[in-house]
């Protein structure tokens, strides 16, 4: 860091609504090290003040008249306009102060020319970028209730050239939009965070935009959109906050080699206040700089891509969204190779929207973000099976609303509309299974010949494409079933190699078990006496392997390995108990997570929102690892290879999204590389800005204290963050007549708005923009010396 001359501060004494003093202090930065006063390396010239409005927000720097100088843009909804503060290099005659000015009036500085762009909608969020490729900085904003508006800068100062895009279901919020190149084509694009989806509007030709790309959100709320290269691959990524209930997590979608944003990755940054992206240290891309909401520390975290270490568990869940549904029972999910490329795909029902969402797997980056295709209305059950042996699995759906079962297939680059199958009566549940052992599955469906009287039929596809119905008759006319089933799930209850079936319901009663006999006929098994499964839900039963094939059942606060004996009684072979009393085990699965021989056991615990991993040690399965699940409305679990690495992965299906835990891949994670705890008394840091604030070529961090209305400048020194200097923005007592100073400064940026090549600190405080011009240490209007 270059040597700087100490500066004696020149202070403007201000009244009621603005800055009253700047007081300097320094803190000893020492951990058994030499005391260093870094304040001598920082200096600012006279404060410059500009009056706007109390409701001004979204302050952004940019060149808004194409003169090579940095200006400022802010939103002023109280006057239905966007304010541009256009930088000037010298005052004009019109800048002379008025002679009859009030004694308490604060004269505005001549630095900016105030230009006003009228808007006809309330503006909730603003961003800037070059949206027509002419090299000029344009404006994009979200106008309530549903409009993205781009205003193009031209040679005229009127800003009358614009483009509007209607976007449904967007809740206006500050910083809800961001601009940057999101497909690596060199053009600025726009991302808009909506209630259920995120819109990405790609610039195609100069000034032209493609139909918005719709990315289904995984969280109840998303906000604070930012765009930057997070992982250092030269491609911009999308960063934001995702919230479910009281939880908020920092999240990212990384741009892949195809120029598309990937699935959501959530990080262990949950209780935070300020958040910015900035390149502070070497390695990766931009760092994530936050203020920890619990400790108040400033944290600098960097993306890390560590190679998979044999025997270590990946601890990051990757999230895929498919939007809300009216209830959990309205969704279903299935996996299979839909397009014959040898990779497992995922398909999810959307009953309310009458569509199916297909997530195709790609060899380079795994599952895509899903494409919706039309289907029957009210599809609540789905299965995937290759019934003709051509390598392309067909998709089967059941709609209770349309009282039909249909099937469709992926052809000509899309999923076809379902063709209705020749079913008898009104089907209530179905399943795919190979009862005749010919290697091709048949379709079995449960229906009601009479009210509350149930029967099972089988449909078999013939070589000529027709469907044959059989199994109907006395053997599969079950009559009244106590639980009135609505869902059918395949399992091998007695491990005889033949598929059996659980008939599940939502009325709180135990499921009915159908056991397939040697003739391939499923019959009701009377399981009275002994242990019972109880009121199990669809996601509580899992067929997997723990050395041998097993049937696992999640029950209350444990999971059991069960087997149906020759007398149709359930026997417990083993039981797996978590140690916490608050555990609520809703699901269970098996797969190889450590790369060693044998599968691990995963208990899905919604009581404490954890995945509990058990690993075999000796003859027992013992707790091994835990993965944070977060608030998650669990439905069911699947195991399949979802990233083409030859290893099974865990898919956890919920109401609004599904999660994947990759067994052979470690997604990026954020690791703290520097932290800072202020030594100042009674501080409450709430926001941040970053940039070079002392001309040494290295970035600094400005942290804003809302309790005492201070600014503390922090600087990286080696592998640590150190206190540079702090000063007060205004005195609380100056605002005592109006209820105190409030949460101020409420915004801040670092940019060169004085045209001297040095970054300045700009704050938005109440109805004022405050500019602290950086001093180069040789200014003629600064008095040199020491305090």
The tens digit of pLDDT for each residue in 106-142 reads 678 899 999 999 999 999 999 999 999 999 999 999 9
727: left (phi over 0), alpha (psi -120 to 50) or beta: beta
Contact (Cβ atoms closer than 8 angstroms) between residue 487 and residue 381? yes
At 1 the pLDDT is 38
| pLDDT value, residue 223 | 96
Lowest mean pLDDT among 216-225, 330-339, 448-457, 597-606: 448-457
Q: How far is CA 562 from the centre of its chain?
A: 38
Give the pLDDT band (50/70/90) at residue 399.
Answer: very high
580 CB-near residues (< 8 Å, 6+ apart): 605, 607, 608
So what's the pLDDT on residue 18? 38
Residue 329: per-residue pLDDT: 56
Q: H or E element: which one contains 129?
A: strand 123-129
* Eight-state DSSP code of residue 482: T
50 contacts 768 by C-beta, under 8 angstroms: yes
Q: Which of 267, 255, 300 is nearest to 282 (CA)?
A: 300
Segment holding 560, helix H or strand E: strand 558-564
User: With 90 as the cut, is the pLDDT of residue 261 above it?
Assistant: yes
Q: Is 702 in contact with 713 (CB distance < 8 Å)?
A: yes
- pLDDT tier for residue 479 given thresholds of 50, 70 and 90: confident
Of 348, 398, 400, 396, whose CA–CA distance to 373 is shortest? Answer: 348
pLDDT given for residue 208 in this prediction: 92
Query: Which whole number is the average pLDDT over 462-478?
Result: 83
pLDDT digits (tens, 9 = 90+) for 565-583: 999 999 999 999 998 889 9
Greatest mean pLDDT among 81-95, 282-296, 460-474 lies in 282-296
Q: What is the mean pLDDT of the chain?
A: 89
pLDDT at 310 > cutoff 90: no
Q: How much is the pLDDT for 780? A: 54
**CA 334/CA 653 separation, integer angstroms:** 10
Which letter, b or e, does each residue of 233-243 get, where b requires 16 or more Cβ atoms within 10 Å of its Cβ?
bebbbbbbbbb
pLDDT band at 2, cuts 50/70/90? very low
Nearest to 45 by CA among 705, 761, 698, 767: 761
- What percent of the chain shows pLDDT beyond 70? 89
CA–CA separation, 425 vs 612, rounded Å?
44
Residue 777 has pLDDT above 50, yes or no: yes
Q: What is the pLDDT of residues 413-464, one digit of tens each?
A: 999 999 999 999 999 999 999 999 999 999 999 999 888 889 999 999 998 8
φ, ψ of residue 476 in degrees (nearest 5): -120, 25
Three-class DSSP category at 694:
coil
- pLDDT for the residue 269: 83
CA nearest to 602, candidates 650, 557, 636, 566 = 650
Within 8 A by CB and 6+ apart from 397, the residues are 349, 356, 375, 376, 379, 381, 382, 405, 406, 407, 408, 418
Q: Average pLDDT in the 326-337 region?
A: 80
What is the structure's pLDDT at 308? 47
Residue 604 has pLDDT above 50, yes or no: yes
Question: Structure tokens of 182?
Answer: 């999101």
What are the tens digits of pLDDT across the range 619-642?
999 999 999 998 899 999 999 999
Handedness of CA 751, 754, 757, 760 (dihedral sign): negative
Domains of the chain and CATH, by start: 1-52+271-304+670-787 (no CATH), 58-95+112-270 (2.130.10.130)
Structure tokens at 366: 């795994």
Q: Which of 419-423, 714-718, 776-780 has the highest mean pLDDT?
A: 419-423
Structure letter (DSSP) for residue 330: G
In angstroms, the CA 227 to CA 230 distance is: 9
With a cut of 70, say whether residue 321 has pLDDT above it: yes
Measured over the CA atoms of residue 656, residue 661, residue 666 and residue 671, the dihedral's sign is positive
Which has the minimum average pLDDT: 206-210, 347-351, 355-359, 486-490? 206-210
Contacts of 53 (CB under 8 A, 6+ apart): 76, 78, 79, 767
């Amino acid at each position: 860091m270059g040597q700087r001359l100490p500066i004696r501060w020149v202070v403007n004494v201000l009244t009621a609504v603005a800055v009253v003093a700047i007081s300097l202090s320094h803190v000893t930065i020492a951990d058994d090290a030499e005391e260093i006063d870094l304040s001598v390396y920082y200096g600012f010239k006279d404060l410059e003040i500009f009056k706007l409005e109390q409701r001004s927000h979204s302050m952004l720097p940019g060149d808004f008249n194409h003169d090579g100088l940095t200006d400022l843009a802010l939103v002023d909804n109280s006057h239905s306009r966007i304010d541009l503060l256009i930088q000037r290099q010298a005052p004009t005659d019109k800048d002379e102060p008025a002679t009859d000015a009030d004694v308490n009036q604060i004269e505005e500085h001549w630095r900016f020319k105030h230009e006003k762009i009228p808007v006809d909608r309330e503006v909730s969020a603003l961003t800037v970028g070059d949206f027509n490729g002419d090299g000029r900085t344009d404006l994009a904003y979200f106008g309530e209730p549903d409009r993205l508006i781009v205003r193009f800068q031209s040679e005229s100062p009127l800003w009358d050239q614009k483009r509007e895009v209607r976007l449904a279901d967007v809740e206006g919020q500050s910083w809800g939009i961001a601009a940057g190149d999101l497909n690596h084509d060199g053009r600025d694009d726009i991302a808009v965070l909506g209630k259920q989806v995120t819109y990405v509007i790609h610039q195609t030709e100069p000034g032209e935009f493609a139909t918005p790309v719709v990315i289904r959100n995984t969280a109840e709320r998303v906000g604070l959109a930012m765009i930057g290269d997070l992982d250092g691959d030269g491609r911009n990524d999308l960063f934001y906050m995702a919230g479910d209930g009281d939880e908020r997590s920092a999240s990212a979608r990384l741009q892949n080699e195809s120029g598309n944003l990937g699935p959501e990755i959530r990080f262990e940054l949950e209780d935070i206040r300020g958040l910015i992206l900035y390149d502070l240290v070497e390695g990766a891309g931009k760092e994530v700089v936050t203020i920890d909401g619990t400790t108040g520390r400033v944290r600098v975290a960097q993306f890390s891509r560590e190679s998979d270490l044999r025997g270590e568990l990946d601890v990051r869940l990757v999230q895929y969204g498919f939007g809300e549904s009216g209830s959990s029972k309205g969704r279903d999910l299935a996996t299979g190779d839909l397009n014959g490329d040898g990779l497992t795909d995922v398909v999810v029902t959307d009953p309310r929207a009458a569509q199916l969402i297909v997530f195709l797997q790609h060899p380079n980056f795994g599952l895509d973000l899903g494409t919706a295709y039309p289907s029957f209305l009210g599809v609540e059950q789905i299965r995937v099976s290759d019934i003709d042996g051509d390598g392309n699995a067909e998709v089967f759906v059941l709609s209770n609303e349309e009282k039909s079962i249909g099937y469709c297939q992926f052809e000509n680059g899309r999923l076809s509309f379902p063709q209705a199958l020749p079913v008898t009566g009104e089907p209530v549940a179905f399943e795919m299974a190979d009862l005749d052992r010919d290697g091709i599955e048949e379709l079995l469906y449960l229906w009601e010949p009479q009210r509350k009287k149930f029967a099972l039929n089988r449909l078999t596809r013939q070589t000529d494409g027709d469907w044959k119905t059989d199994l109907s008759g006395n053997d599969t006319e079950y009559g009244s079933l106590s639980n009135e089933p609505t869902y059918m799930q395949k399992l091998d209850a007695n491990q005889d190699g033949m598929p059996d079936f659980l008939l599940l319901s939502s009325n709180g009663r135990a499921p009915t078990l159908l056991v397939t006999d040697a003739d391939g006929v499923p019959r009701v098994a009377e399981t009275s006496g002994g242990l019972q499964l109880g009121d199990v839900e669809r996601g509580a039963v899992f067929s997997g392997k723990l050395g041998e094939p097993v049937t696992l059942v999640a029950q209350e606060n444990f999971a059991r390995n069960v087997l149906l004996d020759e007398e149709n009684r359930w026997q417990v072979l083993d039981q797996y108990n978590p140690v916490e009393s608050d555990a609520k085990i809703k699901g269970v699965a098996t797969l190889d997570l450590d790369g060693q021989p044998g599968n691990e056991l995963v208990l899905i615990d919604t009581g404490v929102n954890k995945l509990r991993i058990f690993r075999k040690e000796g003859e027992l399965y013992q707790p091994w690892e835990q993965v944070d699940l977060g608030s998650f409305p669990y439905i069911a679990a699947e195991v399949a290879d979802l990233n083409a690495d030859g290893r099974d992965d865990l898919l956890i299906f919920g109401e609004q999204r599904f999660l994947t835990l990759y067994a052979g891949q470690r997604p990026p994670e954020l690791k703290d590389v520097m932290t800072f705890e202020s030594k100042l008394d009674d501080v409450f840091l709430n926001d941040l800005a970053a940039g070079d604030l002392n001309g040494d070529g290295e970035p600094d961090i400005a942290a804003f204290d809302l309790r005492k209305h201070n600014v503390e400048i922090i600087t990286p020194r080696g592998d640590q963050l150190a206190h540079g200097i702090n000063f007060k923005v205004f005195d609380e007592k100056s605002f005592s007549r109006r209820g105190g100073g409030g949460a101020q400064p409420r915004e801040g940026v670092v940019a060169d708005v004085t045209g001297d090549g040095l970054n300045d600190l700009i704050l938005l405080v109440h109805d004022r923009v405050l500019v602290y011009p950086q001093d180069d240490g040789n200014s003629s209007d600064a008095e040199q010396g020491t305090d």
